[in-house]
Amino acid sequence: MLAEQSYDGHSSVHDASTAASLGLRGAPIEAPTHFSQFDPLCYLMWGRSWFEQGCISCHFQTMVVEGEEVQATVTTSGGTSANLEAHKPDGTSVLKGTASIGSAAAPSELTRRLSSLGDPGELFVVDQLEVGMTEQGEVASVDFDTPNGDGYPFSLTEKLKRITESHPWYSREGSTASPWGEAVLPMEMISVLSNKVGPRWPIRRPSLGLFLDLEVRLVDGPVFVGRSYELSREIVGIGQSRRTESYWTKTTLTDIQTGKITAEVLLHSGVFKQSYPGYPPDKIPGAQSG
């Protein structure tokens, strides 16, 4: 559904030819798509509390392309927490993480990963970012029929036709039967909402990125379809790996109607070093070979 995604006037890594230019075997689906596989499992364990105070926190390990099968597994580790895994049929691990409800649960997968960050070293793409940088004041919403911008060129109705594990509370028709009398935004679409507008961090361009880790935490949920939320962002971490430079953004969603913090989204975004023309070749592993 992201084949037509664009930002900064060019195609994204979800375009097949762009993915091939980076040596990827295909155009990956968007990582948060997997969250919809876990919603029904977590609902079975925790009921409506999952949509009110649930937290899903995942480290993405292997890219998945359209048409591949993925099986999700949840293993309880206590009354309010669980471990998550997803695998391809051949056993390849797609992701691992945690799920929980309430604020008293054990540290999430991303809380642990963020706390272990060290000195990122010399940077060339995200070098203008600093921990503590903030953005605020943007307002966004997701309704049923409006496409969600260049970054997410599809509507919620189109997405709901493709979700393999759906729920009546997500739909226009089933909204009145939900405990809150409104349609609930699926966990994966909370990611869309939080990234629909901005951010406008000073990252070197042109360059291509992808999601490395993602956490969605409901503080006073649910997040409702059609509601407007103010988005406040903060850079909370910076790092790099062999192929990417990366940064961690915490986005807080405040319900305009109630004034309450509804959700927090923690996103670890990577930028491919080789996608930035100004990157020093001697700093890219394998770039000088051949």
- Strands 81-87 vs 93-101: parallel, antiparallel or unpaired: antiparallel
6-283: CATH class? alpha beta
Q: Mean of the pLDDT values across residues 184-213? A: 92
Residue 56 has pLDDT above 60, yes or no: yes
> Where would I find the H helices in 47-121?
49-53, 109-115
The residues spanned by each domain of the chain are 6-283
Residue 10 has pLDDT above 60, yes or no: no
- Give residue-wise pLDDT tens across range 111-140: 999 999 999 999 999 999 999 999 998 999
pLDDT in the model for residue 26: 58
Residue 104 has pLDDT above 90, yes or no: no
- Give residue-wise pLDDT tens across range 212-227: 999 999 999 999 999 9
How many whole angstroms separate alpha carbon 87 and alpha carbon 265? 24
User: What SS3 state is found at 275?
Assistant: helix
Q: Which pLDDT band holds residue 105 (cuts at 50, 70, 90)?
A: low
Higher local confidence (pLDDT), 227 or 16: 227
Q: Give the long-range contacts of residues 133-137, CB within 8 A, separation 24 or more.
A: 133/201, 133/234, 133/235, 134/232, 134/233, 134/234, 134/235, 135/198, 135/199, 135/200, 135/201, 135/231, 135/232, 135/233, 136/230, 136/231, 136/232, 136/233, 137/230, 137/232
Higher local confidence (pLDDT), 5 or 224: 224
The region that residue 219 occupies, defined by phi over 0 for left and psi between -120 and 50 for alpha, beta otherwise, is alpha
The mean of the pLDDT values for the chain is: 89
Strands annotated E in the chain: 6-7, 10-11, 54-60, 71-78, 81-87, 93-101, 134-140, 209-218, 229-240, 244-255, 261-272
pTM of the model: 0.91
How many whole angstroms separate alpha carbon 212 and alpha carbon 270? 6
Q: Which pLDDT band holds residue 183 (cuts at 50, 70, 90)?
A: very high
Residue 164 has pLDDT above 60, yes or no: yes
pLDDT in the model for residue 14: 42
Ranked by mean pLDDT, the top range of 12-21, 74-83, 219-228, 273-282 is 219-228
**58-67, 139-148, 174-183: range with lowest mean pLDDT:** 58-67
